[in-house]
Structure 1
Amino acid sequence: MIRSIIIRFDEAKNLFQIEETGRACPELTWDEMLGQIAEMTHPKIGKGRYPMLSADDLDKERARRIDRENLWERENGQ
């Protein structure tokens, strides 16, 4: 079986995103990305440490992170 795994790099944030079959794992650091790929492709593991999210789940996660950042800024007078 051949799998297509895409790694995207956001230079502005210095973060990676892994994509496979319509699911993604966003905002990984370099070592997290390497670990995720290693776990996803290891014959005895086959599943990554970080969840692969659907497009809807990605939108919800991004909204949750924005809400968390906004709350922190309000609480810290930013």
Structure 2
Amino acid sequence: MSERDTKPVHVRDVPADVVEILQARAGAEGMSLTAYLRNRFIEMARQPTMAELYQRSRVEGSTLDVSEYISTLREIRDEE
């Protein structure tokens, strides 16, 4: 990915304790906070939402991957 393929994102009003946790996690992985968050954003964007999975299932000839569906369900349950 080249710099021309990226756009800056600014997130405001993040609670200080959340920033500290994210910085610690980034440090544990030997990454800057920016690199850590960029990787997390990429992971989140690549993981389809339930609505996206549902929409795919409604399309005739869909190639919905059941393991992808199950993985997403488990992630949602873990967040609750």
- Pair in the same fold by TM > 0.5: no
By percentage of residues, which structure has more strand? 1
Structure number with the bigger relative contact order (C-alpha 8 A, sep ≥ 6) is 1
> TM-score of the superposition, structure 2-length normalised?
0.31
| Larger radius of gyration between Structure 1 and Structure 2 | 2
